[in-house]
Amino acid sequence: MKNFILKRINNKNDLNESLIFLANKFNWSFLRRQETYKMLISQNQKKIIFGYLLKNRSNQIVGGLLTLLQGQIILNSKKTNVVNIFSWFIEEKFRGLGGLEMCIMLDKDFKNHTITNYTPSNEVINILKAFGFKRIYYQLISVNILNTIFLNHKKFSRNQKRLLIKDTHKYFYPNNCYIDKIKLSNAFIVNDKKILVEGIKTHIIKSFFKIPIVLPVFQIFNISEHNISYEEWIILCRKIILKYLVFSVNTSLFNSDIFNLSNFKNKYKSSFLIQNSFEEISFIPIIGSELSLVTNAKDLLLPILDKFKKIIKNIFLYRRNKLL
């Protein structure tokens, strides 16, 4: 006999309860929880399934998974919605069968959809692969203030003047997403080209001599100019850094197949999982997913503070036991 109940999150009360549970498990700030709520309510109007929750026999939540309508693909007169799954947590006692039944219900509810998961753990990867998910690799690129501040663009080599972006025909650009309400957009002039950039100012955490430091960054989601060289990209990033006062400009917008990345030092291979309705679509950017949320500095510091508290507590207990 099962020791849990699986439910769809299809009303605001269940959504609030689930977010409180997940915020506690993932150390979210109140602002992060609030932004996640707003984004789910805004984007999931066409299909009111915000995710799934597990409850034990005492009616307490022991697991949750959120689903976010990321946008729509229209290709050769065919349409499919893209759904992003995120913030999946199940208490250890209820994993296994609980996670399996969640996936079965997810697969049934979003049968003709394209489903993405951008930040899967190894455990999640193994589960989702059994449900037909494929792993797609792509490149993250980053240009920081140190890359641009001393760079003289007149000295760029011929190789660096080659086109960086060669093709965009396999891209999916979501519309009517919650990101429209929180994103920043601005036009920059680079070598007489007017380039419109859309993205968000967010935060990342870096470790210097084992000391965690929170840094502001600009995450690009979309650019209007698709004929751009490495030289122009560096100049554009410099202008963005000065405009928004950030440490670096990051993007995961582009598939590595269509990027000339030979000049980039700060490039990182990453991957995401996809259960794809359209084989022609080889890459779906993070825009409209949970990664579109502005990361508050507090969200990054909370887990660190939590670990610090545990260390202090253990030191106190050790000393007390020694005295006894």
Q: What is the pLDDT of residue 204?
A: 80
| Predicted confidence (pLDDT) per residue in 20-64, tens digit | 999 999 988 888 898 899 999 988 887 789 999 999 999 999 999
Closest CA to 181 of 106, 96, 270, 288: 288
Alpha-carbon torsion (84, 199, 164, 119), positive or negative: negative
Q: What is the mean pLDDT of residues 89-112?
A: 91
Indicate whether 265 pLDDT > 50: yes
Rounded to two decimals, the pTM is: 0.77
Q: 191, 232 in Cβ contact below 8 A?
A: yes
| Predicted confidence (pLDDT) per residue in 67-93, tens digit | 998 877 776 667 778 899 999 999 998
Closest CA to 170 of 230, 259, 84, 291: 259
Residue 161 pLDDT grade (very low, low, confident, very high; cuts 50, 70, 90): low
Domains belonging to the chain, first-starting first, are: 4-132 (3.40.630.30), 141-268 (no CATH)
**Which DSSP letter does residue 166 get?**
-
Q: What is the pLDDT of residue 4?
A: 85
Closest CA to 172 of 261, 249, 241, 272: 272
**Residue 250: in which H helix or E strand, if any?**
strand 248-251
114-117 and 267-275 beta bridge pairing:
antiparallel
CB contact set of 99 (below 8 Å; sequence gap of 6+): 63, 88, 90, 127
CB atoms within 10 A of CB 76: 6
Q: For residue 234, give Cα distances in angstroms to 97, 128, 141, 264, 267.
A: 49, 38, 12, 10, 14
Indicate whether 236 pLDDT > 60: yes
Residue 113 pLDDT grade (very low, low, confident, very high; cuts 50, 70, 90): confident
Type of residue numbered 175: N
